[in-house]
Structure 1
Amino acid sequence: MTSSTCPFCLHGSQRRRAGERSRMSSKVTSATSQKKGTSSATSQKKGKPSKTEKLRLQKEEEERKQREEEEAYLLAEQIEAARLEKERLEREAIERLEAKQLEHREEELGEYRLLIDEKLEDAARWKKDLRTRAKWDRYMLCDGSPDPSVCQEINTFMSLWSEETKEDFQSVLNKSNQVLRLIEELEFFLHDTPAEDLPEGDAAQYAQTVQQLQNLLQQKFDEATEHLLKNAAALSDIDTGNMQNVIANKNVKLCIWANLNKNPRFRGYKFEEEGISFDLPKPLALSNIAVRILHTSYDHLSCQSPTFQPHIREAEENKAEETLRPESGIEEWKPTEEEEEEKPEPGNVAAMEDDVQSEGRKSTLSSMSQREDPEKGAEPQENHGAEADQTTESQPGDITEGQPPSPVQDQPTPNDLLEDDVVDLRQFLSLGGVYYFDVLVLPPQCKQVNGWSMVQLVEGGLQNQPYPQESLLSTSLGLSLQEKDLEGLSSPPVGVSIKVPNDVIFFEEPQVARWDPESKNWKTDVIMSRSYNMEQRLLSFKMDAFHTFTLFQEAYLNMPYESWELKPNGMNEVSLTVTSAFTDIHLEIKDDQCRLAAVSSTDGDLSALLGKWMSPLSLRDAMKRVGLNFFPAEDSPKYVSVNKKSEQVEKMAYKEMALLSPSFALGWSKWNLNCSHEQIVVKVRECRDSSNDDDWSLYLLSPLRTQRLKISESDDTFSDDLYDGSEFHSTLYHMIKDYSSPDAIDRLKHSHHLFVDCVHQLLSMTKVLTYS
């Protein structure tokens, strides 16, 4: 059966569906409108928050900040508590280490004294016995030479020699060698004998005898020169008609020329082999004169100068007593409560150099420089009493309070009041000997008459020819010049050219100064037209007249040192290498003697010195004579920037370094500049077959104790923190003993006392801890 749909019903269905769609569309439109309205309301609310919303947000922000502050406060409290706890633990650990050190202090100091003090005392007794034996051997010598220490013998010798007349120059030269040995013997007595073993009266007698021998020697040279000039005609040269002669030995060289021909065109003469020449001023060409250049390898004039001896102020001599371990009787030192509570902290005291640095290598000899006014020199420092009291309490990093008290300079020393042209012999060294440059009146010549030698005797002995002198030319010609001729007469300067001796070292151009017999000073006031050929070592200059002159070099060119290292080479053998701005020196020590083994750069011939074994005092004098001054004096801080350290701490350090030298290498540390003046930092490593050259450890020495440092040489900042697991000890020996092999310690105990004393002397003379 086929169904059919009613049209009316279909139409109704369509109308229902259309209505539903209309209603759905209306709902969507309404929902969209509602959504738009809500969005508009929300946008309006966000753009303009209400007052309530603002208060709520502000309250939330305040609560958040309060929570953060509370959390930060709690965290800071925790950090501070941790820090305080760490400091407490460290302080307790330090106190335990200090208590342990004090507990074993007497034992360590007793063992230290057995090792080092007894070695040095044994060496002192041995040297005293050696001086006694030498005196006895001198008495038993019986070689005809007088004993210079016996007043009667040396006076008899000088009296007999002074009475001898008509000695030729060669005889005087031969006798001069003996006189110089006597002078050297007396000077050795003065320098080598301790003050307590040399009575003051004997010292004054030796010094007076030295001066008398020096004067007598120069007197005999003058007499022999006069005797030689009386026979100048017989010794004249056929080619020139004048007399020129050279007589020399290893200590003295005489170059003499006599004007016998009187050639008006004569300008000068050169002694070829000796490398000495002079220009004769024209007014002297026709004069009856002789020119003498007497070159002595020694210097007997400088010791007469007021600037030769150091002038130490009384305030510096009477230094404030420091709370330090004494040099002798070291076991008697006890720390005070204040010292236990107040431990100095490390700091940088590099600015300390400004207080001890002097005028800074001012060259008195340079024509371009002028000595500063004494009032502008080192500024006086006040309140030294307060500074002395605060030395142990102040921090090392404090530039003013942490420094040792400086000497009061209320009264300037004689060296501070020198004239501009006077050479300060505390700052400059005389090298190459002395040149006695004189123009002499030619004495009447010896004549042969009927087989007889006849000579006119002239009172007064050898006489100097005055120069410059206005009427000199007219006198020599026997003419009467007009006044207008005298007005045009000039006195030209005297030219000199010398070859600098090969056995001395000049790191800079040699400076020249002439001797002023009135003030007894070396002066630079009349030196002109100086020139120097470094390759030929030829020095030329002019003077206004004939003067005694010498060459100078600044004494402290090689100070302060750049670095140093003390290294063992075998049993009772070590080497000391010191590096300076100009050269490096290598010293070797074996048993009780030392030598200069090598010099890195030099323009001289040191074959007479290199490799020669001698005592430390003899080596010091020999090196200074050739221009290698690595030995500061007591007043050297006036001229050199030094790393000022406490004198007692420095002396203690040199003793301990000498004790350790047979087994350990010790060297310069940059941190020694950054600790206080009562502390010293050295680097140490044990020398054995398996040791590494970079295996250095740093140790801090102070009056209270010695400790190993945690820092290394390559670190950026200084710290006195203890090395992990280390302890405090009273001496460096016991500190290093904790990290050393038994063989190394055994070598220290069996080292010879004379060797240890020799190392100690050399370290004390070079002062490597304060001049590096």
Structure 2
Amino acid sequence: MRSRLFGCHRSCTRKPQLPKHKMPPKSPPKKSASSTKSSGKPPKKPPSAKLSKAEKEKLQKEEEERKLKEEEEARKKAEEEERERLEKERIEREERERLEREEHERHDMEMADLNAVLDNVDSAINSQEEQRRANAKWERYMKCDGSPDPTVTQDINTYMSLWREDKDNSEIKTVLQDSRQLLALIGELEFLMSDTPEGELSESDLGRYRQTIRDLQELLSYKLDEATVDMLKKATAEADIESGNLQKVSKLDDIIVMLWANLNKNPRFKSFEFPGEGFTFELPKPLATADVGIRVIKTAFDHLSPHCRTFYPRKKKVDKSAAPEEEEEKKEEEDTKDGEEGEKEGEDEEKPLDADDEDAKSVASGRKSTTSAAGSTREKEEGENEGKEGEEKGEAEEGEEKEGEGEDKKPTTAEAEEEEELLELDEDVIDLRQFSPLGGVMYMELLQLPPQPVTARGWSIVEVVDENLRRIPYPGEPEDLKKLGATLTLATPAEEKPVAKEASQAQMLLEGPPKDGAAKEGAEGEGEQPAQPEGEAAPPAPVQPTYITPPVGVTIKLPSTVAFYEEPQPARWSWSGKHWRLDGFTDIKYDEENKTLSFKTNTFGLLTVIQDSHLNMPFQSWEIRPRGNNAALFTIIAAIVELEIEIKDDKCCLSQPEDTPELDHLRKKWMAPKDLVKALRAAGVNIFPEPDSSKFVSMTKKDEEAEMLTYRCMAMTLPAFAFSWSKWNAEAGEDRIVMQAAEHLEDEPVNEDDWCCYVQSVRRAKKLKINEFSEEFSVDHAEGSELRSNMYHMLTDSASEKARERIQAANFRFLHCAGELIRATRLFTYS
């Protein structure tokens, strides 16, 4: 029953089965005619079929015709391209020739126009300066304040004699008050010598002014010594209650006198700091028990460095023997250059686009030929000692010339002579062309105390001694130090580090005489006489005792008005050599956070702190842009610091950086460009190269004539144009000056898209096709621009009417101030 049910169920649900049969095989799809045509290839014949000879020849002929057709088309295309290239070159050549011809026609006229503009500014400035000097001279003549005229010998001699003989006013306060007038007289003479145009002061007047300055400096030193003696005589009465020693500080303006007298003679004395003056000294034990005093005079001025032989730039001299030959060579070069110029007039097609290259090179080569035999001469020092040194050097040079007679000698170049001069200097001697003393000078001296008054039974007894200030040389003779009560330590032979012969004598005293064998060996090795027997041996020479003079510790608080961008170095003055030296210091430590410099020295004397003068060179970039009428903003990003200098009329001031407290005393202080240069250098920020700075810093050598012409043109167009540094200046060569310029009439930063590159050479100026973002440098001029003889006409001719009006209406004082500041930085050479 169940099977039926299930079977019925299956029969009802099973699908009907179709009869099984085989399907026919699928035939491959046939290619349509359209697909065959689209492929572009003839249908392949079955492999059994072969091409006939006629068919092969036909196919080969068709292939050759196709190749010939392609070659003909390529030839026609190349010919067309060549015709286009030649046509383009012809158009460019004709355009270039037209521009050069036009520039050549108006070159003399444009240069005459530029010289007239510059002469007007120079004459106006010269007239103003002459009037200022005349007014100052009249005001000095009419001055009735009792101060003498330092230029009148009789007046200044009377002033110095009266002050030297005045013994009643020897107090330190009175001396400092009187020194204010003396320093003003020195400053007046220095300003007079620097402000007077070259040639207006005779050599005799200059020598007389320099001698007057030295006499005034000597008088100031004499009066300070006199006041110091007066204070030391009263040391006991003015001693400090706690320490029992004299501790006195007197200061006025640029002079600070610190005096300490060892009245207590406490052997446990370690160090003393003058409160508020940032000067700490640590005496060694022998001096802590001696009748000595310490005087420190800090001055904000430096009267010593001008006496160094390395203070002034080394002057170059021309070898007279080589001068005639160079003149002949120069004439020949000029003749050949004239001939070449005549030939080049007919060869304009082969002349390069930058036509001023050859002119610039010829000018540069002519200028180099006149300076190639230039030599350097040592700066003559003043005084009798310097004259003797000059005579000795002259005799030595004459001796060298005599020794070299008969030999073929080439003229010595300036570089070789300067190197020989530098080799004569000791390695510890400071070259003031490379380094600068900063923060003034410190006179630290060890003094002998005069006898102090003794009070007994109502009487004050004082020993009368010499009134002069007695300085103690340190290290000095042990007998002199013992007289002061100093307890010196005897040095051992090992500490003395004597020579070999002295060491053997000391060893004989300590260990006994050497053995006979050793004595014989030593005698034979030294080539001396044979050793004598013991009975006949001479007694050894007595060894002189040697005492140790330990160093003095000094800690200086660096001035708050000087920025130090590297670890400063202490230096001491050498009276014999008249120069600063680096030796004599140990344990030098610089605390940058507290701005203190500590060291140990074995000598007393004159100290200063030096820093490299070229830390901020070369510059990374610069920009100068106008800020309205007769105003501009000058930005220089130097190697370490970024500065902003504002220019307004004939004054300028430092406005940035604001995060350098050492420059707070200069910020927003308007002054003349010369005064700003001097103030920034004194503050440790030197962005003003000297003529010989190229020896100490990498630079981009540029043609001096083209460089100075560019500076003048920049200043004349600054009222309406902004200028900036260009990276192509370093790649343009010596004869080209490359910069960025843009017309700018608003007091806001210049838009980057407004800058254009310009080039100035000795011959002409032009606008370049490249910009600051181009891949490579090119001297091609910009399309639509013209060639001009100078940047002044290049910019003014393309300027707007408003820009021209602003340039013409500019004040000549502003133009001169801007030009003087730009020339002082030498932007194109040191950036």
Shorter-chain TM-score range: 0.7 to 0.9
The alignment partner of 1:196 has SS state of coil
Give the secondary-structure state (helix, strand or coil) at the position aligned to 1:621.
helix
Could you tell me which residue of structure 2 aligns to residue 238 of structure 1?
Answer: 241
Change (3 A) 1:111 1:61: same
- Distance in 2, matches of 1:59 and 1:433, equals 99
Other structure's SS at 1:197 match? coil
Instruction: Choose which of 675, 683, 693 in structure 2 pairs with 1:618.
Output: 675
Aligned equivalent of 1:508: 566
Q: How much has 1:72 moved relative to structure 2?
A: 6.2
Shift of 1:569: 1.5
Q: Counterpart in 2 of 1:543?
A: 601
Distance 1:515 1:645 in 2: 38
Q: Quote the residue 1:433 is aligned against.
A: 440
TM-score (norm 2): 0.73
Map of 1:33 onto structure 2: none
User: In the alignment, does 2:643 pair up with 1:571?
Assistant: no
User: Which one of 793, 796, 805 corresponds to residue 746 of structure 1?
Assistant: 805
CA contact (8 A) 1:470 1:490 kept: no
Task: Indicate conservation of the 8 Å contact 1:515/1:547, yes or no.
Answer: yes
> What one-letter code is carried by the residue in structure 2 that aligns with 1:498?
I
Please state whether the residue corresponding to 1:570 is helix, strand or coil.
coil
Q: Tell me whether 100-109 or 77-86 shows the greater mean CA deviation.
A: 77-86
What is the CA-CA distance between 1:211 and the residue it aligns to?
A: 2.4
Query: Which string of whole-angstrom CA distances, capped at 9 and with x for unpartnered residues, describes residues 164-217 of structure 1?
Result: 336122122112211221121221122222213333332232222222222222
Residue deviations 1:232-280 (CA, integer Å, cap 9, x gap) = 1221112211111111122011111111111122122111211211010
Paired with 2:739 and 2:235, the residues of 1 have a C-alpha distance of 66
Deviation string, structure 1 residues 571-596 (Cα, Å, up to 9, x no partner): 11112111112111111121111112
User: Against the structure 1 CA distance between its residues 385 and 664, is the aligned structure 2 distance closer, same or farther, given a 3 Å change threshold?
Assistant: closer
Contact 2:96 2:353 in 1 (8 A): no
Q: In 2, distance between residues paired with 1:600 and 1:658?
A: 27
Amino acid at match of 2:471: Q
What is the alpha-carbon distance in structure 1 between the residues aligned to residue 728 and residue 613 of structure 2? Answer: 27
C-alpha distance 562-484 of structure 1, shift in aligned 2 (>3 A): closer
Amino acid at match of 2:443: Y
Name the CA distance, whole Å, in 1 between partners of 2:588 and 2:107: 64
Q: Report SS of the residue matched to 2:549.
A: coil
Does structure 2 conserve the Cα–Cα contact (< 8 Å) formed by 1:223 and 1:462?
A: no
Letter in 1 for 2:100: E
Corresponding residue of 2:705: 648
RMSD: 3.7
Give matches, 1:438-517, under 5 Å.
Answer: 438-446=445-453, 454-458=462-466, 461-467=469-475, 469-471=477-479, 474-477=482-485, 489-517=547-575
- Larger deviation: 569-578 or 455-464? 455-464
Secondary structure of 1:205's partner? helix
User: In structure 1, how many angstroms separate the alpha carbons of the residues matched to 2:119 and 2:366?
Assistant: 34
Question: Are 2:89 and 1:87 aligned?
Answer: yes
Distance 1:339 1:487 in 2: 87
Offset at residue 667 of structure 1 (A): 1.3
Q: Secondary structure at the match of 1:710?
A: coil
Q: Secondary structure at the match of 2:572?
A: strand
Contact 2:627 2:633 in 1 (8 A): yes
Q: Specify whether residues 484 and 86 from structure 1 end up closer, same or farther in structure 2 by C-alpha distance, changes over 3 A only.
A: closer
Match of 2:176 among 170, 173, 178: 173
Q: Distance in 1 between matches of 2:449 and 2:719?
A: 65
Contact 1:312-1:635 at 8 Å conserved across structures: no
| CA 1:419–1:721: 2 relative to 1, 3 Å | same
Structure 1 match to 2:155: 153
The correspondence of residues 271-350 of structure 1 with structure 2, limited to 5 A, is 271-314=274-317, 337=342, 345=354
Kept in 1: contact 2:148–2:159 (CA 8 A):
yes
Deviation at 1:113, TM superposition (A): 3.2
Q: Rate the CA distance shift 1:59–1:601 in 2: closer, same or farther, 3 A.
A: farther
1:672-703 per-position Cα deviation (integer Å, ceiling 9, x unaligned): 11212221112111223499522112211112
Structure 1 residues 136-167: Cα deviation after superposition (integer angstroms, max 9, x where no partner): 11111121111222232222222322223361
Compare 705-714 and 462-471 and name the one that shifted more: 462-471
SS of residue matched to 2:416: coil
Q: Could you report, residue by residue, the CA deviation over 1:42-91 in whole angstroms, capped at 9, with x for unpaired residues?
A: 5xx99xxx9x9999999999999898878766655554444333223212
Question: Structure 2 vs 1, CA of residues 389 and 533 (structure 1 numbering), >3 Å: closer, same or farther?
Answer: closer
Among residues 721, 731, 743, which one is paired with 1:686 in the alignment?
A: 743
Q: Is 2:710 the counterpart of 1:710?
A: no
Work out the CA distance in 2 between the residues paired with 1:154 and 1:741: 59
Instruction: Say whether residues 1:734 and 2:741 are aligned partners.
Output: no
Q: Which residue of 1 aligns with 2:217?
A: 214
Specify the code of the residue in structure 2 equivalent to 1:184. Answer: G
Give the 3 Å change call, closer, same or farther, for CA 389–297 of structure 1 in structure 2. Answer: closer
Question: Unpaired segments of 5 or more residues in structure 1?
Answer: 1-37, 322-332, 349-383, 392-405
1:721 aligns with 2:780: yes
Quote the Cα distance in structure 1 between the aligned partners of 2:183 and 2:491. Answer: 52
Q: Which amino acid is 1:537 matched to?
A: K
The aligned residue for residue 96 of structure 1 is 98
Q: Is the 8 A contact 1:533 1:539 kept in 2?
A: yes
**CA 1:481/1:754 → structure 2, altered by over 3 Å: closer, same or farther?**
closer
Distance 1:736 1:508 in 2: 42
Segment drifting more, 554-563 vs 222-231: 222-231
- The answer to whether residue 423 in structure 2 is matched with residue 423 in structure 1 is no
CA distance in 2, matches of 1:425, 1:735: 42
Q: Secondary structure at the match of 1:571?
A: coil
Query: Could you tell me how far apart the structure 1 residues matched to 2:64 and 2:413 are?
Result: 65
Q: Give the Cα separation in 1 of the matches to 2:308 and 2:795.
A: 49
Give the TM-score taking structure 1 as reference length. 0.79
2:612 is matched with which residue? 554
CA distance change for structure 1 residues 491 and 389 in 2, over 3 Å: closer, same or farther?
A: closer
Aligned to 1:401: none
Contact 2:269 2:288 in 1 (8 A): yes
CA shift, 1:478, in A, is 8.9
Contact 1:346 1:676 in 2 (8 A): no
Distance in 2 of aligned mates of 1:481 and 1:608: 49
514-523 or 95-104: bigger deviation = 95-104
**Residue identity matched to 1:637:** S
Point out the more displaced range, 706-715 or 74-83. 74-83
Aligned length: 668
SS at match of 1:681: strand
Q: What amino acid does structure 2 have at the position aligned with 1:100?
A: E
Structure 1 residues 84 and 390: CA distance shift in structure 2, 3 A: farther
Aligned in 2, Cα 1:579/1:672: closer, same or farther, shift over 3 Å?
A: same
Q: Is contact 2:491-2:545 (8 Å) kept?
A: yes
Supply the AA of the counterpart residue of 1:308.
F
Q: Which residue in 2 is equivalent to 1:529?
A: 587
How far residue 541 of structure 1 moved from its aligned partner, in angstroms, is 0.7
> 1:187 and 1:338, CA in 2 relative to 1: closer, same or farther beyond 3 A?
farther
Does structure 2 conserve the Cα–Cα contact (< 8 Å) formed by 1:572 and 1:751?
A: yes
* Letter in structure 2 aligned against 1:143: D
Partners of 2:583 and 2:142 in 1: how far apart? 51
Question: Residue 99 of structure 1 aligns to a residue in which SS?
Answer: helix
Q: Write the distance in 2 (CA, Å) between the matches of 1:195 and 1:533.
A: 45
Counterparts of 1:581 and 1:666 in 2: how far apart (Å)?
A: 20
Shift of 1:728: 1.1
Higher relative CO (Cα under 8 Å, sequence separation at least 6) belongs to 1
Match of 2:193 among 167, 185, 190: 190
Please give the alpha-carbon distance, in whole angstroms, between the structure 1 residues aligned to 2:486 and 2:762. Answer: 81
SS at match of 2:267: coil
Task: Measure how far apart 1:615 and its partner are.
Answer: 1.3
Counterpart Cα distance in 2 of 1:702 and 1:751: 26
How far apart in 2 are the matches of 1:536 and 1:161?
41
TM-aligned CA distance change 1:77 to 1:159, over 3 Å: farther
Q: CA deviation at 1:500?
A: 0.7
1:74/1:198 Cα in 2 relative to 1: closer, same or farther (>3 Å)?
A: farther
Measured at CA, do residues 513 and 82 of structure 1 come closer, stay the same or move farther in structure 2, by a change above 3 Å? Answer: same
- Report the counterpart of residue 690 of structure 2 in structure 1: 633
Q: Return the letter of the residue paired with 1:425.
A: L
Amino acid paired to 2:605:
H
